[in-house]
Amino acid sequence: MPLGEFELIQRYFAQVAEASSDASVVLGVGDDCAILTPPASRQLVVSIDTLVEGTHFLPDTPADLLASRLLGAALSDLAAMGAQPAWLTLALSLPTANAEWLKRFSERLAELCLEFKIALVGGDTTRGPLTLTAQVHGFVPEGAALVRSGAQVDDLICVSGTLGDSRAGLEAQLKGVEQPGFAPYLSERFFAPSPRIALGLSLREFAHSCIDISDGLLSDLAHILKASGGLGARLQLEALPLSGAILKSYGQDQARQWALTGGEDFELCFTIPAEKLANLAHLPVPIAVIGKVTQAPDICLFDRGIPCEISGSGYDHFLKQSPVE
């Protein structure tokens, strides 16, 4: 028997909402709007993100992986602002009300809400081609948000974690796995990104600018440089942080290519004055210094001091076909 929309929401999402709720949620799921109490003297930061079947993921992707992919990408935007997560709303278009799908999705969602201390406060479910939209809401002290526009000449350019893994994970899905031993790790990096919330909070005090790597390092770094008044950068390719998995499965050339242009790593790229770098030494997440901000407005690549070029650029939905299709 088909489930009614209301029963469906009640059964699968009311529990998530209740489990993740806190005192700031005056009224959650179940009225025309949620009623929320913003903390005093804080700025609200919000971001909305959509995943579409066929554009961002393959048909029949398990629902729990979609939950972690959706929330990971959305929370990564809060991380890039140095924001503390607070509230989540979801808009789900589903071809059918499939109980098994909803169970897997909502259970993983609940785990992530608790892990990242974000409360599900509202949503909309509609019938349609599989499309998942999440809006995340977070808070920063007044004037403390990390933005793209603060980079300065001679800032060090840093990235967290390793780059290119997400693109490699996608490749493994599309074309099969060359090195079976490593695929699970790379696939996990694609489906379950690690939003760098704690790092973002720490960077508020030290970094001049920050962005999360969603379009690809070169493309996202270009956003910082453009927003900061038309600056440039020198990047050392040998400093790009690459995982053992990507190197072993795809080799250094391909790994570097994907590290620069692959996108959807959801690591942070930030610029910081050299003298502040030591303040990040205590953080559990690895930080790599990959270059320096320059006055000259181009991004120049060097391999052990020798200038080089690389083909391809960041990922742009409307410019070219998505690799998923």
Q: Which of residues 109-148 bind its own copies (CB under 8 A)?
A: 121-129, 131, 133, 135, 137-138, 140, 142, 145, 147-148
Q: Which of residues 260-319 bind its own copies (CB under 8 A)?
A: 316-319
Q: Is residue 52 a contact residue for its own copies (CB under 8 A)?
A: yes
Is 123 marked as binding a ligand? yes
Q: How far apart are CA 313 and CA 322, in angstroms?
A: 13
Helix (H) or strand (E) holding 50: strand 42-52
Other C-beta atoms within 10 Å of 9: how many? 20
Considering only 43-51, 106-114, 175-183, 271-279, which stretch makes contact with its own copies by CB under 8 A? 43-51
Is 215 marked as binding a ligand? yes
Q: How far apart are CA 291 and CA 265, in angstroms?
A: 19
Three-state DSSP at 135 gives strand
Q: How far apart are CA 23 and CA 245, in angstroms?
A: 43
Q: Is residue 5 a contact residue for its own copies (CB under 8 A)?
A: yes
Q: How far apart are CA 256 and CA 234, in angstroms?
A: 15
Q: Which of residues 184-243 bind its own copies (CB under 8 A)?
A: 210-212, 227
Is 77 marked as binding a ligand? yes
**Residue 25 corresponds to which tokens in the numbers above?**
């949620």
Q: Is residue 3 a contact residue for its own copies (CB under 8 A)?
A: yes
Q: Specify the amino acid at residue 2.
A: P
Q: How far apart are CA 86 and CA 197, in angstroms?
A: 12
Q: Is residue 45 a contact residue for its own copies (CB under 8 A)?
A: yes
Q: How far apart are CA 16 and CA 214, in angstroms?
A: 27
Is 49 marked as binding a ligand? yes
Binds its own copies by CB under 8 A, chosen from 20, 49, 85, 290:
49
Binds its own copies by CB under 8 A, chosen from 15, 43, 202, 279:
43
Is 60 marked as binding a ligand? no
Is 124 marked as binding a ligand? yes
Residues 6+ apart with CB under 8 A from 302: 234, 235, 236, 237, 308
Q: Specify the amino acid at residue 146.
A: L
Which is closer to its own copies, CB of 46 or CB of 201? 46
The residue count for binding its own copies (CB under 8 A) is 75
Nearest approach in angstroms of CB 148 to its own copies is 5
Q: Which of residues 91-110 bind its own copies (CB under 8 A)?
A: 91, 93, 96-97
CB 200 within 8 A of CB 287: no
Q: Which of residues 20-39 bind its own copies (CB under 8 A)?
A: 26-27, 30-38
Q: Is residue 48 a contact residue for its own copies (CB under 8 A)?
A: yes
Is 322 marked as binding a ligand? no
Is 316 marked as binding a ligand? no
Q: Which of residues 147-166 bind its own copies (CB under 8 A)?
A: 147-149
Locus of tokens 């004037």: 143
Q: Please report, in range form, the residues annotated as the binding site for ATP.
A: 123-124, 148, 214
